[in-house]
Chains A and B, each alone.
Chain A
């Protein structure tokens, strides 16, 4: 059952007066709990696609519907609330807030929602436990290793149980064995929580392990192994 439908998504930039078309009509539907990999050459617009899909950036044209609601026409604050509840981001660089401990970082989306602090802390500890960082909860990001940081970022993305996880090369900055650990956690959480995920990666092994694989070429998304036909 597809909950997210993307129709003829366009994104163009203007640079020095020249128009650069990054996305030229992307059509895609994502089903509940589905795991997708997205590959493509560097600079082809994978990150742009994730940003637009995650409503961090507005598309030039086209629309994105979540449960039939077009999110491209929402106001800024409606989008913020939408992101908070529906989307979880993991970036290539961990992007944790350096002033806060691991646990506080994981709590952050809940605090933005103005959830009770004790409840947020409980959830954060639970998630840190499930990514195997129970005893590192009170460390600041600077005191954690790269793999640990990325696990914290993953926990933070999932603390509010979003419906769609957008991961932008989550292991791109890690050595292969650490990266494999992250992949494992990612797969486990997907299984356990049933959160749909779009994982942008250069890692062929990771991409191969995904049930559905996409490739971004020339501003269009192509199915590599079409288990579900693209709409």
Chain B
């Protein structure tokens, strides 16, 4: 397993998990979120291609109410 940090929380995922795979594991629709990996934006078109590494710091954000 790979030990990641996702939105500040520890999370273990199987080796070979892509960004798309991570979103699927969590149960999130890719088109409603944005993902940052180690402070770099992951373009949505690459979600399926980019494989996660141990200790990756992942941020998954979406739009919420705000002024």
Say whether A associates with B.
no
